[in-house]
Amino acid sequence: MAKVYPQAPLLSSSSSSGYLTSKQETFTIWMKSLIVNGHGCTVFDSNGQIVYRVDNYDSRGRAKVHLMDLKGQILFSILRKKSKFLGVWEGYRSSNGKEINPKNTPSFQVRRCFKGKSACKVIVGLDKNQIQQYRIESWSSGKSACKILDKSGRLVAEVVTLFDVNLFDHAHIACYRSMIFISYWLMVLKQVKRKQSTCGVVLGEDVLTLVVEPFMDHSLIVGLLVVYGLINRKL
């Protein structure tokens, strides 16, 4: 994928915390929650370390979810808004790791599209009056893989399935080792036998690769993808 440097990047107020880098970054998304019998997803960096997670406990497609770091600190509170237009979600950035008052101005808004090529229309920077527009496009109907484009159509982030990436590079090996360990303990706790690969990881659409272009806010990109997952009943 060609490297793109948008004129109006998704800058993060927490870039010093590692949410923004000057190089392209690759993450592995495991569509599994760390909570037993829960729904959500777990995001690994290129070193196989957990960096983001969403835990919906026993309910899929909830009207309010939290994007958290490994320690459980809230990065974004994401709410589905009641509107005459279906499929409107708002994300509120947390500055102290706690849930945000929904009366505050949201950081971003995602509106589901029912016509045209785009799956969702995105507006970010609402809380800082630095409005930028993006769109999320799905590769094919009903699939998890998608891409995020800026207003001019330039690619800023892309999600591809497991089979579209090199399984033997060091970044993915590190992530899969972490996933094998977590998968093993989830299986022990549930005491059920699940269909797995020979190395113990549940494959298929549960494992995705996220590639984020330079100078993009990683946490915000993941937040947008969480909304996309909620809209498609993946979380």
CB 229 within 8 A of CB 39: no
**The pLDDT of residue 42:** 92
CA distance 58 to 100: 23
Whether residue 14 is contained in a domain is answered as: no
Predicted local distance difference test score (pLDDT) of residue 216: 94
Domain span at 27: 23-231
Number of domains the chain contains: 1
* Residue 226 in domain: yes
Stretch 146-155: mean pLDDT = 94
Report the candidate in 220, 172, 233 with the shortest Cα–Cα distance to residue 31. Answer: 233
**Cα–Cα dist 176/160, whole Å:** 16
Is 112 inside any structural domain?
A: yes
- Identify whether 1 is part of a domain: no
Average pLDDT, the chain: 76
Residue 123 lies in a domain: yes
> What is the arithmetic mean of pLDDT over 23-48?
87
Q: Is residue 91 part of a domain?
A: yes
Predicted TM-score of the model (pTM): 0.77
- In terms of average pLDDT, the best of 27-31, 53-57, 116-120, 191-195 is 27-31
Matching residue, tokens 């709410």: 79
CATH code (residue 83): 2.40.160.200
183 by Cβ neighbours in 10 Å (0-12 / 13-18 / 19+) ranks as buried
SS (H, E, C) 129-162: CCCEEEEEEECCCCCCCEEEEECCCCEEEEEEEH
Q: What is the mean pLDDT of residues 170-174?
A: 58
Query: What pLDDT is stored for residue 171 in this prediction?
Result: 58
Q: Which of 70-74, 107-111, 192-196, 220-224 has the lowest mean pLDDT?
A: 192-196
| Contact between residue 24 and residue 212 where contact means Cβ atoms under 8 Å apart | yes
Q: Is residue 191 part of a domain?
A: yes
DSSP H or E stretch at residue 26: strand 25-30
- Place 163 in a pLDDT band, splitting at 50, 70 and 90: low
Q: Is 27 part of a structural domain of the chain?
A: yes
Q: Which residues are within 8 A (CB) of 145 and not within 5 positions of it... i.e. 6 or more apart?
A: 138, 139, 159, 160, 161, 164, 208
Give φ, ψ of 136 to 5 degrees: -110, 125
> What's residue 46's pLDDT?
87
